[in-house]
C-alpha cells in the first residue's frame, strides 16, 4: 500500500512541477515578448528624434464606434474644412455608419512576429516605363489613391489593389477584393457614404453607379479614415502647412502605422522634372499653391527614405 501511495504521490508531484514549469515558461515568454517589443520600440526611436517627434501610435487611425468621439481641437479643425456650417448630427451619423459597415478596430495586430509589406502607389508620371508592376503586386497590401487606373498600365503599376483611398469627388468603380477607404474631408462625405449603400439620394457623384451594381459585395470592405488621424498628419507631420494633407500623403503616414515594411511608388516628378499623372498629361506646376503643400510632402517622403523608414522607388 505504501508503495502505491508513494507512486501516486510521485506522479502528482511530477505533474504539479511540470504544470508549474510550463506556466512559468509561458509567463516568462509573455513578459519577454512585451520586453522585446518595448526594447525594439525604444531602439526604433533611439537615434531618430525627428521621427520620434512625429510618430504617434496612439492616434486613432480608422473610425469605429468605440473611438468615434472627436476632441474639441479636431472637431474645430474638421469643421473648418466643411466650408459652411452643417446642422447634421455627427454622433447620429456614426451610429448609422456602423449599423451598415464593420465596427471593429482594424490593424491592431502590431507585434514582433508580424511582417506586413505595403506598397503605397501614387499617380506620378515617373511610373511610366518603370516596369514596377510585378514588384508592386508582390506586397501584402497595395494602396492606391482616387481615380488611378490599373487597366492598360499593369506592366508599370501592377494590377493588385487591396485598398483604394477616395473621397466622393474622386470615387471610381472598384471590385469586391478592394477595401474602400473613405477620407472624409467634410461631414457630407459621411452622409454620401451612407447614401451610396442605402437611399442613394446623394447622386451628384459617379460612385453612385457602383452602389447600384455591387453595394452588397463592398459593404464589408468599407473603412473610414479618422478625422483625428487627418489632423495629426496635418499638424504633426506637415506642421500646419497648407489647408490639409493630400490623400496620398495621408496614406503614406497611415502605412507607417499599419505596415512593417513600406515601399512607395509614383511619388514626385518624372525624370524630366514634370509633375503629371501616369495616366494623363495634366501638369501640376503650382506645388505650393492651393490646399496642399506638395513640395513639403515630397521632402518629408524623401527624408523618410533617407532615414530608411520607407523605400522610395522613383522610376528612373
pLDDT the model gives residue 274: 78
Sign of the Cα torsion 248, 253, 254, 260 reads: positive
Q: Catalytic annotation on 292? A: yes
pLDDT the model gives residue 46: 66
SS3 149: coil
- Would you list the DSSP string of 154-169? HHHH-S--SEEEE-GG
pLDDT the model gives residue 211: 44
Backbone angles phi, psi at 149, to 5 degrees: -85, 160
- Any alpha helices (H) in the chain, and if so which ranges? 2-46, 49-54, 72-81, 90-100, 133-137, 154-157, 187-197, 208-218, 227-232, 247-258, 294-306
> Is the separation of the CB atoms in 167 and 184 below 8 Å?
yes
- Which one is catalytic: 167, 292, 298, 305? 292
> How would residue 284 be classed by pLDDT, with cut points 50, 70 and 90?
low
- Tell me what the mean pLDDT of segment 192-201 comes to: 79
Q: Catalytic annotation on 244? A: yes
- 314 pLDDT exceeds 70? yes
> How would residue 220 be classed by pLDDT, with cut points 50, 70 and 90?
confident
To the nearest whole number, what is the mean pLDDT of the chain? Answer: 81
> Is the separation of the CB atoms in 62 and 28 below 8 Å?
no
Which has more confidence, 5 or 252?
252
* Partners of 242 in the β-ladder: none
- 188 pLDDT exceeds 60? yes
Q: Running DSSP on this structure, what letter comes out for residue 71?
A: P
Q: Tell me the CA distances in angstroms from 31 to 27, 42, 109, one per residue in order.
A: 6, 16, 17
Among the listed residues 143, 192, 185, 149, the one whose alpha carbon sits nearest the alpha carbon of residue 164: 143
- CATH code for residues 49-313: 3.90.1480.20
pLDDT the model gives residue 27: 38
- 119 pLDDT exceeds 90? yes
- Which one is catalytic: 55, 167, 232, 244? 244
Show me where the domains of the chain are located.
Answer: 1-46, 49-313
| Rounded CA separation 224/64 (Å) | 8
> Is the separation of the CB atoms in 61 and 252 below 8 Å?
no
Amino acid at each position: 500500500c505504501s508503495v502505491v501511495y508513494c507512486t501516486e504521490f510521485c506522479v502528482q508531484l511530477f505533474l504539479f512541477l511540470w504544470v508549474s514549469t510550463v506556466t512559468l515558461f509561458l509567463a516568462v515568454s509573455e513578459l519577454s515578448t512585451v520586453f522585446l517589443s518595448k526594447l525594439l520600440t525604444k531602439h526604433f526611436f533611439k537615434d531618430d528624434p525627428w521621427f520620434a517627434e512625429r510618430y504617434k501610435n496612439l492616434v486613432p487611425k480608422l473610425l469605429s464606434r468605440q473611438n468615434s468621439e472627436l476632441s474639441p481641437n479636431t472637431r474645430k479643425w474638421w469643421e473648418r474644412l466643411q466650408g459652411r456650417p452643417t446642422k447634421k448630427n455627427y454622433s447620429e451619423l456614426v451610429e448609422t455608419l456602423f449599423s451598415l459597415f464593420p465596427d471593429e478596430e482594424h490593424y491592431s495586430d502590431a507585434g514582433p512576429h508580424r511582417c506586413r509589406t505595403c506598397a503605397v502607389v501614387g499617380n506620378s508620371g515617373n511610373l511610366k516605363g518603370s516596369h514596377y508592376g510585378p514588384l508592386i503586386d508582390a506586397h501584402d497590401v497595395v494602396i492606391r489613391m482616387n481615380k488611378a487606373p490599373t487597366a492598360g498600365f499593369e506592366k508599370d503599376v501592377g494590377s493588385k489593389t487591396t485598398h483604394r483611398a477616395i473621397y466622393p469627388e474622386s470615387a471610381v468603380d472598384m471590385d469586391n477584393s478592394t477595401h474602400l477607404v473613405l477620407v472624409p474631408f467634410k461631414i457630407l462625405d459621411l452622409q454620401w457614404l451612407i447614401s451610396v449603400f442605402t437611399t442613394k439620394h446623394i447622386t451628384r457623384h459617379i460612385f453612385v453607379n457602383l452602389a447600384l451594381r455591387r453595394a452588397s459585395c463592398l459593404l464589408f470592405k468599407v473603412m473610414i479614415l479618422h478625422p483625428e488621424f487627418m489632423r495629426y498628419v496635418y499638424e504633426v507631420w506637415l506642421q500646419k502647412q497648407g489647408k490639409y494633407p493630400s490623400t496620398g500623403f495621408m496614406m503614406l503616414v497611415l502605412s507607417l502605422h499599419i505596415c512593417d515594411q513600406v515601399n512607395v511608388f509614383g511619388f514626385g516628378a518624372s525624370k524630366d522634372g514634370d509633375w503629371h499623372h501616369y495616366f494623363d498629361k495634366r501638369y501640376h506646376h503650382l506645388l505650393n499653391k492651393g490646399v496642399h503643400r506638395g513640395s513639403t510632402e515630397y521632402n518629408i517622403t524623401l527624408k523618410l527614405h533617407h532615414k530608411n523608414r520607407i523605400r522610395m522607388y522613383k522610376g528612373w
